[in-house]
Structure 1
Amino acid sequence: MIEQGWDSLTRLVDGRWIERRPRRPSVGPLLLMETRLMPWLAPQLPLAVPVPVVVSHSPVVVRHAVVPGLPMSSPGPSQALRLGEFLRALHAADASAAPGLPAGPDLPLDAFTSRVLPLLPSSRQAAGRSLLSLVAGFPACAVVHGDLGPEHILATDGQVSGVIDFTDAHLGDPALDLAWVLYGTPYAFSQALATAYDVSPELRARALAWHRLGPWHEVLHGLTTSDPSMVESGMEGVLARLGP
């Protein structure tokens, strides 16, 4: 069974192709962006990634060969080394030459401020407002995956084999791609990755801010799709990550 994401409807075709369609009109241009970006980016990366082609423009349908592996379930140090090498190569790519790369993240700060922030207890709203102000000033200087989590990192026989779903790729802050790997994984994994990537104190601090912002997306998605359970779980994450 293929796990379905927030942005695309996905199906397996003939046992060898992954076909993706947008869940909403705004995702269509992002799928088409991948068909321009990934043929240029893939040869520069040390792990397998999807290289989609256009099947149809109206409606938008793209297709790529299956990337081997299953979502990583037990992050360990050896996997961290491979993923650290991958992220270094990704962030070293010449962003000025990247075809179709969106200029900056699609970060809904206005929606976070108007829809999510008021849901916080009054005693936590200052901390939430400070977080939004902080990330708004972060640099945009590298090609970033934009949504790097365990569901998008594939492993085969215990080793990382590929990274999928570049719909959120953009010119952005490399610390965004370090958020989950540094702060959502076991200590041994995060330390091994930090060593492989050579994470600086400045990058680590920005990655923590991005990690704290992660659940805000879940809350906003729950509000947009009228899913109270997603709003509730997202708010639990928002409050837990904001800290005391």
Structure 2
Amino acid sequence: MEFSGGWDSRATLVDGRWVVRTPRRPEVEAQLLRETEVMPWLAARLPLPVPIPEVVTRTPLVVRHPLVPGEPLESPVAEHGRALGEFLLALHGTPAETAWDRGFPRAERTRDEREAADRRFRAEVLPLLPDSHRQRALNLLDAILRSPADTLVHGDLGPEHVLSAGEHLTGVIDFGDAHIGDRAIDLAWALFGTPAEFAGELSRTYGVTDALRTRALAWHRLGPWYEVLHGADIGDPEVAAEGLTGVLARLG
């Protein structure tokens, strides 16, 4: 049973206990192989279960990991916020030098990818915005380019990747975008896409500063820009239009 519509890989549940993943594109193979090498090491540092994949076959590439229990977080409460705050403290406390020595992408790659995305945002998304939003958009893009790249981050933290059962978190999944980047990217949804009681408890547990909150808001506002590009890349104008609606809504 296929149960993931991820952009990079296809995930299938086998025998009710194994998540089997295959790359959707050849360039994703290196990412999946990297996860088999780094996740066993990282899992030992974290207070919540995470996928620990292993190679099944290399040609074609197939990897699998035991199913992490729980359901995507739909109704965040304060206890969830505390647990996620503790998880992020542990993840972000991983020494960056050790993380890239283990195989996570280095800060230089992060900056290169930011600059490449920025060029596309300015060329493909910015012209779609009304004049009334143009300066705020430029300020946002400039702020993202100035953000640090000094912390091991999940890179795609949202409700579909945070699992729960009742008031307890049971795991965090999908580390395909993990890299050395700005810790604020992992706080974007957690602070600005969740109920106040969840965000408040996470903020207290993690120790969110005003500067960190400002950067997290910038990353939150940037999220739909990627959806616009994705819609263009797959030739789906509806996806691109939904992304543009999100861009305008978050710019305010």
Q: Tell me, yes or no, whether TM beats 0.5.
A: yes
Query: In structure 2, what is the equivalent of residue 155 of structure 1?
Result: 164
Unaligned residue ranges in structure 1 (runs of 5+): none
CA shift at 1:212, angstroms?
0.4
CA shift at 1:129, angstroms?
1.8
Q: 1:130 & 1:54 partners in 2: Cα distance?
A: 44
CA shift at 1:167, angstroms?
0.2
Q: What TM-score, normalized by structure 2, do the two folds share? A: 0.93
Q: Which deviates more from structure 2 when the two are superposed, residues 206-215 or residues 121-130?
A: 121-130
Secondary structure class of the residue paired with 1:162: strand
CA RMSD, Structure 1 to Structure 2 (Å): 1.2
Task: Give the 3 Å change call, closer, same or farther, for CA 122–56 of structure 1 in structure 2.
Answer: farther
Unaligned residue ranges in structure 2 (runs of 5+): none
Q: 2:120 & 2:31 partners in 1: Cα distance?
A: 20
Give CA deviations for 1:61-81 in whole Å, capped at 9, x if unaligned: 211111011101100001110
Q: Which deviates more from structure 2 when the two are superposed, residues 98-107 or residues 37-46?
A: 98-107
Secondary structure class of the residue paired with 1:165: coil
2:4 and 2:12 in contact (8 A); partners too: no
Between the aligned residues of both structures, percent identity stands at 53
1:145 is matched by which residue type in structure 2? H
Give CA deviations for 1:57-108 in whole Å, capped at 9, x if unaligned: 3332211111011101100001110010000000001121121101143432
Indicate yes or no: 2:27 matched with 1:26: yes
Q: Which deviates more from structure 2 when the two are superposed, residues 108-117 or residues 88-97?
A: 108-117
1:60 is matched by which residue type in structure 2? L
Q: Which deviates more from structure 2 when the two are superposed, residues 165-174 or residues 154-163?
A: 154-163
Secondary structure class of the residue paired with 1:236: helix
Q: 1:113 & 1:171 partners in 2: Cα distance?
A: 24
Query: In structure 2, what is the equivalent of residue 89 of structure 1?
Result: 90
Query: In structure 2, what is the equivalent of residue 102 of structure 1?
Result: 105
Q: What TM-score, normalized by structure 1, do the two folds share? A: 0.96
Secondary structure class of the residue paired with 1:20: strand
Query: In structure 2, what is the equivalent of residue 145 of structure 1?
Result: 154
Query: In structure 1, what is the equivalent of residue 53 of structure 2?
Result: 52
Q: 1:166 & 1:118 partners in 2: Cα distance?
A: 33
Give matches, 1:59-138, under 5 Å.
Answer: 59-98=60-99, 99-104=102-107, 105=110, 106-107=113-114, 108-138=117-147
CA shift at 1:194, angstroms?
0.2
